[in-house]
Amino acid sequence: MSLKAFLSANATAVENRKVVISDRFREGGMAVLWEIRAISEAENETLRRGCTRQVKTKRGEMEKTDNNLYIGKLAVESVVYPDLKDAELQNSYGVMGADSLLKAMLTAGEYAALLNQVQEINGFDKDMNELVGEAKN
């Protein structure tokens, strides 16, 4: 084995994925595809830190992550298209902020479908047993 496999030039890039999140958004009679991307661990760490607070307990302070806030921010950072930061799009739904826009645009089921796609492209859908199995093959 060689460390060359780990060099940046040899790493396989995670390609953006185009998916149908909702058939309610149509253009030319066809459902509009959303584009999502994987984020880096550095971006993920920044998101997690922004969703983590110090909470007082009987034993002192501990960190608590707001998982709903985190997954919403992960979705926002992973969506490439539509541009969730577009002011016209936000204004059309009467909201400010990309996270609020997603929740206004999508039904509960559509939002869940988006979150599933986002988790999958970011590698959160695989458990350790699957990863070990892939490594053995």
Alpha carbon distance 56, 38 (integer Å): 34
What structural domains does the chain harbor?
14-37+80-137 (3.30.2220.30), 40-71 (no CATH)
Tokens of 98: 């990309």
Query: Model confidence over 38-74: pLDDT tens digits?
Result: 999 999 999 999 999 988 888 888 889 999 999 999 9
Question: 10-49 burial, b for 16+ CB within 10 Å, e for fewer?
Answer: eeeeeeebebebbeeeeeeeeebebebbbbeeeebeebee
**Contact between residue 83 and residue 35 where contact means Cβ atoms under 8 Å apart:** no
Predicted local distance difference test score (pLDDT) of residue 5: 84
Alpha carbon distance 131, 137 (integer Å): 10
Query: Cα dist. 127→68, 85, 113, 119 in Å?
Result: 21, 33, 19, 12
Query: Model confidence over 9-21: pLDDT tens digits?
Result: 888 888 999 999 9
Query: Model confidence over 104-116: pLDDT tens digits?
Result: 999 999 999 999 9
